[in-house]
Amino acid sequence: MAMPLPVVVLGIDTPIGLTIIRDLGRHGVPVYGIARSRAAPGLSSRYLRQGLMRAADEEGIIAQLLELGARLGPACLYAISESDIMMLNRHRARLERCYRMLLPDAARMEIVLDKERTYEAAARVGVRVPRTAHPDSFDAVRAAADTLRFPVVLKWSDPNGVVRLLEGAGLALDKARYCQDADELLRYLAPYQAVGRYPLIQEYCPGYGLGQFVLMRDGVAHCTFQHRRVHEWPPEGGVSTLCETVGLEQHGELMLRSVALLRALRWEGIAMVEYRHDPLTGESALMEINGRFWGSLPLAYHAGVSFPWMLYRLQGLDQSVTQTAYVGGIQCRFMIAETKRLLRLLFQQKKVTDRQLRWNRGAELFGYLRDFLRPNMHYFVFEWRDPMPLLRDLWAVARRRG
């Protein structure tokens, strides 16, 4: 029997990288991981063949990957973060001598990182997008303040493209900033006149986060999956801290539009199309496309939908894959972030910038404790079959607080 192609995972410091290790390792794939920190939970997984510490700079990382590739022979390469995907694409021609690159190329990645281009493509295939202003001057900000309905949410069209510019000017790069009225909007954006760059100003969409996940190849969706965000950190919107599977019998028309959007972008590989879904009206508005493995990947893994393994088979081995059946109602939570969320709601609700949201402190505390007893609850890091990553994670937390 032929040995499976080994896999190298760049970025095993998060539950995403850990889940890729577990998913591939359980299918018999030799996995090698590269971590930023010795506290990375992926380093302790029983499914990791070898863990390496990341080199200090870009050229060092590429040299490290080329050396590892020469030692392993033909292998597949995964990357977790958008910044790492962009870095690897800058050296794609060199890396492709050793690896099958299981990550989007630069042209496709640039489109999904640019929200304006994503929204334009979405409008062409009938996907609803929130009403959005794209100011290029402070006068345009004033004009938007006079016409948009408040509250509004501020988001950067291409955060990776402005982060260094803003850091150099001492300005914040908030993933999502809520402004309740025109005065608050103008006060917040006034300092950005110093750099002449402004985030998108988007009308607020009520509801919860709905993520639709798709594995694409040659214009065909080979596997789909969806979930809703029950809790997030920060509470007004961010990374998922408690999420739940949603069966494919729901939101069928929306899934067809998501696939049509990815097909229009000529997307290859995995992607998450993220919406804000309003259960009162049944409407869903596009937020963004994540052209990488998503934060709630552990939920799909625990539900039996093995996206890393299917991507490996489809793009790494050129083998067919079929849709995996799963049930709705399976839950998964990210305990460190979920605990931070609870503490914010118990003691610091005034720091929540979305004033439309309300919470009952007693109910939140009760739900946090009750969820430990739920039979359908799973965890981003903890798994009975692979317990050491949790212990490593707890050790790292204790050291930071010590």
- Domain layout of the chain by residue ranges: 7-103, 131-203, 208-394
Question: Whole-prediction pTM value?
Answer: 0.92
For residue range 75-93, list pLDDT tens digits in order.
999 999 999 999 999 999 9
pLDDT at residue number 1: 41
Least confident range from 201-215, 219-233, 345-359: namely 345-359
What pLDDT score does 351 carry?
86
**346 pLDDT higher than 60:** yes
CATH number for the region 131-203 comes to 3.30.1490
Ramachandran region of residue 186, left (φ > 0), alpha (ψ -120 to 50) or beta?
A: alpha
Q: For the residues 267-287, what does the mean pLDDT come to?
A: 96
pLDDT, position 3: 63
pLDDT at residue 11, rounded to an integer = 97
Predicted confidence (pLDDT) at residue 398 exceeds the cutoff of 90: no
**Residues 134, 242: Cα–Cα separation, whole Å:** 32
**pLDDT for the residue numbered 375:** 87
Which overall architecture, per CATH, does domain 7-103 show? Answer: 3-Layer(aba) Sandwich (3.40)
Domain 208-394 has CATH 3.30.470.20: yes
- Beta bridge mates, 288: 274
Q: What is the pLDDT of residue 2?
A: 57
Rounded mean pLDDT of 231-236?
A: 90
Computed over every residue of the chain, the mean pLDDT equals 93
Give yes or no for residue 207 having a pLDDT over 70: yes
Q: What does the buried/exposed string (b/e) look like for 240-266 if buried means 16 or more CB atoms within 10 Å of the residue's CB?
A: bbbbbbbebeebeebbebbbbbbbebe
- Going across the sheet that includes 331-333, the strands are 283-290, 269-278, 208-217, 220-233, 239-245, 331-333, 377-379
